[in-house]
Chains A and B, each alone.
Chain A
């Protein structure tokens, strides 16, 4: 089955700096990669996603890049703000299955 590894597990950045979270996946048939943000005590919420036929996608301060050859994808947050502090999860889906495999999460702390 699919295996998704996510790094780092914790990340502290100064407000205004950039943050990068990386995930690798094992199943080359996976073709959809969402990112979720989970604030303390709340449910995960989708923040951005990318399909396998796209190399990069941006939404304001958030971007995701995908390298299919290397089987890894990354979340980039620029100009970080304290409200970006949360746990971020990557996931991989596809390959003819409807299983969803999540990474283990990255706790991001943005220091004012």
Chain B
């Protein structure tokens, strides 16, 4: 089954404790992206990746890191989480970063993060 998976689905942590949210897709997609969703602000892009070893900042990259060592995986790293990073995070993938490839973004189930 074609899918995007994220782990963990729920996470409670404390300020400053490094964490990683994993994202994996099994569709051989080139383009992957991370979003955060906050009430009243919609979905905001954090980072995206056009392909292996190619990443770029979205609109809200501060406080986050990503890596793309393999095509299927795109982990989101919070080196020193802060309470303002409490949010719902979605990973997504699409066939490519070209316009046609972006036409269908497949979203993961989401990761709800609480930073105390």
- Contacts known (A99-B58, A101-B45, A104-B41); A32 close to B103, Cβ less than 8 A: yes
Assign chain B's interface to a size class: 20 to 34
CB distance from A49 to the nearest CB of B (A): 6
Q: Which of A70-104 contact B (CB under 8 A)?
A: 89, 91, 93-94, 98-104
Contact count A vs B, C-beta below 8 Å: 57
Q: For the complex, what is the distance from the CA of A29 to the CA of B115, rounded to whole Å? A: 38
- The 26 listed contacts between A and B (C-beta, < 8 Å) are A9-B40, A31-B99, A32-B102, A32-B103, A34-B103, A43-B108, A43-B109, A44-B43, A44-B90, A44-B107, A46-B104, A51-B99, A91-B43, A98-B31, A98-B56, A98-B97, A98-B102, A99-B45, A99-B48, A99-B58, A99-B59, A100-B48, A100-B58, A102-B42, A102-B45, A104-B41
